[in-house]
Amino acid sequence: MLSDATYSRLASTSVLTDFVELPSQLMEHWFEEPEVLKKFCRHYETGEEIPEELLAKLKAAKDFNQGFETIEYTSCALLDMAMHSLDNYEDFDMNAFEKKELDRLGMPQGIVMRHRPGHFQHLFSTSGYAAGYYVYLWAEVLDADAFAAFKESGDVFSPEVAEKARKFIYSAGNTVAPDELYRSFRGRDPEIQFMLEKKGLV
């Protein structure tokens, strides 16, 4: 809907994998804003808006298990990269490779991968995310850093920042290299601390 590119091959989500998840993941931030929750989260019978105490509980619960979830995701992303970095797949033993790679990574005993290779569709169903499963976590770095621009403005609904997001994130597609687009939006490269704060890891 916001795409503004002459050629459809460069429009909308026809972008490099490293940038494709940013637009949707950035939008998710506004759902958690109290102003939005109070408008849409209402009692089904009375219409009463969500109480402050429940909002506080939701916010506190958001950080639960983030360390676990980050490791279970990251282990999959690293296994994906390692598997697609092999030169030779003759006599390839998936189970042996998985065990050896997880041992090399020092995978904690109490945590398992989110996706075992046998049902890890991102790796094999298409080439779109093969050796690219990491992009969801990278998008979290981007979306948290991008949303921080709204917070830093003093208004998470800032029309000025929103216009920059429309121009450099939502409408440009692949007409400009994504790193250039992001720098044009943010004025710098993305920084990781906002994602760590979002997950409650700092």
* pLDDT tens digits along 46-93: 999 999 999 999 999 999 999 999 999 999 999 999 999 999 999 999
How would you label 36-70 residue by residue, b for 16+ Cβ within 10 Å and e otherwise? ebeeeeeeeeeeebbeeeebeeeeeeeeeeeeeeb
Q: What is the domain count for the chain? A: 1
User: Taking 80 as the threshold, does the pLDDT of residue 128 lie above it?
Assistant: no
Domain contains 72: yes
User: Taking 90 as the threshold, does the pLDDT of residue 123 lie above it?
Assistant: no
Domain that holds residue 87: 66-124
Domain contains 154: no
Q: What is the pLDDT of residues 135-149, one digit of tens each?
A: 999 999 999 999 999
Domain contains 80: yes
Closest listed residue to residue 160, CA positions, set 169, 150, 151: 150
Domain contains 134: no
Q: Is 63 helix (H, G, I), strand (E, B) or coil?
A: coil
Domain contains 184: no
Domain contains 94: yes
pTM: 0.89
